[in-house]
Amino acid sequence: MSPMGFLTNYGLLLAYIARNSRATARELASAVGITERAVRKLITDLVEEGYLERQREGRRNRYEINPDLSLRHPTYLDVAVGDLLRILGWKPKGKKASRKNRE
């Protein structure tokens, strides 16, 4: 029997990137349990939707999460992705703060 998961690969990838913003595609693939090709597609999707910003640093990428975007499921449109990531142990740093920190 395969283990039951509560997060999609998108959620798992974002959670790992939140803790390891300079991880390589190989490291991300190993952590999430998917192929490097799948990681690259998911990252492209997350960048296009605005959840991630990707900056090139030499031969590597560094990722920054936009914590203010809402989750995509209609039931959870009032929940920011940063709120979910904080529940999973993310401690945001830098310029972007969540909605709750600004209120």
Q: Are 16 and 23 in contact (CB under 8 A)?
A: yes
φ, ψ of residue 65 to 5 degrees: the values are: -90, 140
CB atoms closer than 10 angstroms to residue 97: 13
What is the gyration radius of the CA atoms in the chain, in angstroms?
A: 14
pLDDT at 26: 96
pLDDT digits (tens, 9 = 90+) for 7-17: 999 999 999 99
Per residue in 69-99, pLDDT tens? 999 999 999 999 999 999 999 988 765 444 4
With pLDDT > 70 as the criterion, what percentage of the chain qualifies? Answer: 88
SS3 55: strand
Domain 9-102: which topology? Arc Repressor Mutant, subunit A (1.10.10)
> What are the boundaries of each domain within the chain?
9-102
**So what's the pLDDT on residue 45?**
97
**Mean pLDDT in residue range 2-27:** 91
